[in-house]
């Protein structure tokens, strides 16, 4: 009889004994910081700047690539990142902190802290050229 009671007791306690052997679930990751991503994957055109030629195009791609092309030069490939409150553009392996002065669907105003004087740039959405009508 004692053997039967011991077996029933062991059977009843078995799930609790196993529960202690299961590894603890990993802690959930902290939520990502609010990122003003409204400027990402859009073509921006320089409207005004203290050092950049108006008409220069900027494209901040979601993979961290930055493509800059001026009306008179070859395209330039850089990288960018945004960590919490710090926005950085990397040019030739040199990171430059950038202040976001204003951001909306109509404009993106930044100040790049390059060596020397900071460079302010007012970007507006670039116009999308109309496609030619190919219907005949």
Question: Could you count the other beta carbons within 10 Å of the beta carbon of residue 50?
Answer: 12
Q: Considering the chain, what is the average pLDDT of its residues?
A: 80
Structure tokens, 9: 């007791």
Which structural domains are found in the chain, ordered by start? 38-125 (2.40.128.280)
**Model-level pTM?**
0.69
Share of the chain above pLDDT 90, in %: 57
Q: Quick check: 48 pLDDT over 70?
A: yes
In 3D space, the residue among 41, 46, 39, 43 whose CA is nearest the CA of residue 121 turns out to be: 46
Confidence of residue 132 (pLDDT cuts 50, 70, 90): confident
């Amino acid at each position: 009889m004692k053997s039967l009671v011991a077996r029933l007791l062991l059977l009843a306690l078995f799930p609790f004994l196993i529960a202690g052997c299961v590894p603890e679930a990993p802690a959930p990751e902290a939520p990502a910081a609010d990122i003003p991503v409204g400027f990402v994957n859009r073509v921006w055109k320089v409207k005004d700047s203290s050092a950049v030629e108006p008409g220069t195009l900027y494209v901040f791609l979601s993979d961290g690539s930055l493509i800059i092309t001026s009306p008179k030069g070859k395209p330039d490939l850089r990288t960018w990142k945004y960590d919490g409150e710090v926005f950085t553009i990397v040019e030739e392996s040199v990171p430059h902190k950038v202040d976001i002065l204003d951001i909306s669907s109509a404009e993106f105003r930044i100040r790049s802290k390059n060596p020397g004087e900071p460079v302010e740039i007012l970007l507006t959405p670039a116009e999308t050229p109309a496609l030619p009508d190919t219907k005949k």
